[in-house]
Amino acid sequence: MPTTHTPLTCTMLQLTLVFNFFVFSPFVLATHLLPRAQHTGIRMTNYYAGLGACGEWNNDQQYIVAISHLNYNNGQYCGKEISISYQGKTANAKIVDECMGCPEWGLDLSQSLFGHFVGGVQNDLNVGVINADWSFVDDNSDENQKSTAKASSIATHMTPKPSSKTSSKTSSKASSTFHSSSKAASSSHKALAIPTSSHPSASPAVATAEAEQQNLKDFNDVLVNLLSLVAQAGNAV
């Protein structure tokens, strides 16, 4: 019975597809985990201020809001300052309470704050509704910092170490060559790992962008090395 061999070009294509999947899929996943910097078209209502879930007494003359119970997260955003925009008007407010009837990222505005956008103090018995945009005033808020660190951690832990078992599928003459390629991929893995820290960086977005650019450069270098090794293996065959 004749001996069958896996075509070298097919093996190279498989290696490339597998490498691309394990290198870039964690970054795609991490990107989806990052929160939106700007929450647009969010449903906002109004309420009478009093003792807020954050533990402070407030009044209707203050520019304050209650954040949706879906995002309150045990007071994670208590005291955070946000910026709200609606039909050309903008105002800053502080998160002091939890809104049980609000949708995700929805806000309940104090009487004076709601009146700022609609032209007068709103009667809570006839709740008004607007769809406005809002974002955290501090770009380095806990929301962005924790999500960036979490995304980096996921990308680091999900990147597997390339296995040398792939070489067993190639011909015996090319086995030593592909074993060397696994070392190159392994060294690339070390370069692609994004360091994480328990203390958020002062500029996480810049650090992440630089890390991704370095990853792309390292990936191109690895591909060049793999193509060179495949060419050598082809000559050996």
Q: Is residue 66 part of a domain?
A: yes
Does residue 105 sit within a domain?
yes
Q: CA gyration radius for the chain?
A: 27
Domain final residue, candidates 137, 166, 188: 137
Given a cut of 50, the residues of the chain with pLDDT beneath it are: 27-36, 140, 145, 147-159, 163-204
Say which CATH number the domain at 90 has. 2.40.40.10
Where is the domain boundary, 137, 159, 174?
137
Alpha helices in the chain (DSSP H): 8-33, 69-72, 111-118, 142-158, 175-192, 204-236
Q: Is the pTM of this model over 0.95?
A: no
**DSSP H helix total and E strand total for the chain:** 6, 6
Domain around 90: 39-137
* Residue 25 placed within a domain: yes
**What is the tens place of the pLDDT at every residue in 214-230?**
777 777 787 777 777 77
How far CA 191 is from CA of 2, 88, 161, 206, 215, in Å, comes to: 43, 47, 12, 18, 7
**pLDDT for the residue 211:** 66
Asked if 44 and 85 sit in the same domain, the reply is yes
Residue 187 included in any domain: yes
User: Phi and psi dihedrals of 164, rounded to 5?
Assistant: -85, 0
- How many other C-beta atoms are found inside a 10 Å radius of the C-beta of residue 200? 14
- If asked whether residues 30 and 70 sit together in one domain, one would say no
| 173: CB partners within 8 A, 6+ apart | 233, 236, 237
**Residue that finishes a domain, picked among 137, 162, 184:** 137
Give residue 216's identity as a one-letter amino acid code: L
The domain total for the chain is: 2
Residue 3 lies in a domain: no
